[in-house]
Amino acid sequence: MASGRVSWRGSGQGVSVLRVSGFTLVEVLIALAITAFVAAVAYTGLSTVINGVESTRGVAERTWEVNRALQILQRDLRQFVDRPVRDEFGDQEPALMGGPAARFLLSFTRTGWHNPTNQPRSTLQRVNYVWEEDSLWRESYAVLDRAGSTEPQRVRLLEGVTGVQITFLASIAALQPGARGTEVDTRNWPDNWVVDTSQPNATLAPPAALELTLELDDLGDLRMLYELPPPPL
């Protein structure tokens, strides 16, 4: 079947017919099919590009979140100071403690707490790192020696943390090289740094270093080694 336009011309002797042919139905269908195919290819390519951009953006945002959390922890540990505190029950807590046997994954005193408005407070701050609900949290207190009503300020640093492990090094002299010679062998480091409550008036000196391993649901295991500031001479 053809589509076309028919013109009529009249004359004194009769009528002549001028027939102008157009596209056949098959040609129209082929043209539509080609157009649809080109559109589908273009859409698929555009969709792939958009998905790639979104995936890259998601990875970049996740990397930024992880780096930000680790930088906050590193900043706190670099400013560690050997200052024990009193908890809300009046018991003394060492300057640093942590591990499964402790109240918190990691708890210590740091200096360098900025006071731009000159509030009547110390520049020292007690911070806790807590792992719960598959998240890493940072807690901080407005005072060092807490009362029963003292509540910490709590901030979620990182989500998607499915596991944590922390170990401690007692002294630099106890360092052992790893298998490659350039690594640090942390297999024998204790995973608890707490006061021995079986000993009366026991104290706990801070460790020389600690290793923290975070298991992330999307990036796998991240292993960080932190050296604490040496005690003042």
Per-residue pLDDT reduced to its tens digit, 37-71: 788 888 787 777 777 767 678 889 999 999 999 99
Distance CA 224, CA 170 (A): 17
E-strand ranges in the chain read 2-10, 15-24, 85-86, 92-93, 96-98, 106-110, 125-132, 135-140, 153-159, 161-169, 209-216, 220-227
* % of the chain beyond a pLDDT of 70: 85
Average of per-residue pLDDT across 203-210: 93
Q: Which residue has the higher pLDDT, 137 or 200?
A: 137
113 DSSP 8-state letter? -
φ/ψ of residue 67, rounded to 5: -60, -40
Q: Please give the CATH topology (third level) of the domain spanning 63-227.
A: Pili subunits (3.10.610)
Quote the pLDDT of residue 198. 79
Average of per-residue pLDDT across 193-198: 88
Is the pTM higher than 0.85? The answer reads no
